[in-house]
Amino acid sequence: MTRISFLIFLRDGAITAAIDEQFNLSAASGILAISVVSIGELNALALKRNWGPKRVESIYHELNKFLVIPINSKDVLRLYGEIDAFSQGKLKGQPLPAGLSSRNMGKNDLWIAASAAATGATLLTTDKDFKHLKGVFIKHQYYAPQDYL
């Protein structure tokens, strides 16, 4: 599972090269997945930044390589609630690990995390908002953008 922030926009950049080297994403044997929510975020970003038709078409061409994960499955819906409750320190029988405080996750991030958890995909992201879920709900690999400038 990928966040759109790097794989699409920086597909020729240093972060994408590092990710491809680590996970061999360009190999035909791997499955690239993206949450339908990330595609919605991408559509909003394209409109807000006034991207031209050629750039939007190019991005959708890249998206054709992805398995789109819907959010209307029972597992995704259940995990959305569990991840939200866990993040707020209110999931019965599963407290936050020592040293972590409760937090409100963005609704889109909850959907993306639930999609990754339901599919068992590794969430590759430049977003720190998922770190507290690593090893509890999701496989998570964080890439710090400043490390790839």
pLDDT tens-place string over residues 41-66: 989 989 999 999 998 898 888 888 88
Mean local confidence (pLDDT), 80-84? 98
- The C-alpha atoms of residue 97 and residue 132 are separated, in whole angstroms, by 8
Residue 26 above 70 pLDDT?
no
Share of the chain above pLDDT 70, in %: 87
Residue 5 above 50 pLDDT?
no
Q: Are 126 and 142 in contact (CB under 8 A)?
A: yes
The string over 35-72, giving b where at least 16 C-beta atoms fall within 10 Å of a residue's C-beta and e elsewhere, is bebbbeebeeebeeeeeeeeeeeebeeebeebeebebe
Task: Indicate the helix (H) or strand (E) that contains 141.
Answer: strand 139-142
Mean local confidence (pLDDT), 82-109? 94
pTM of the predicted model as reported, rounded to 2 decimal places: 0.84
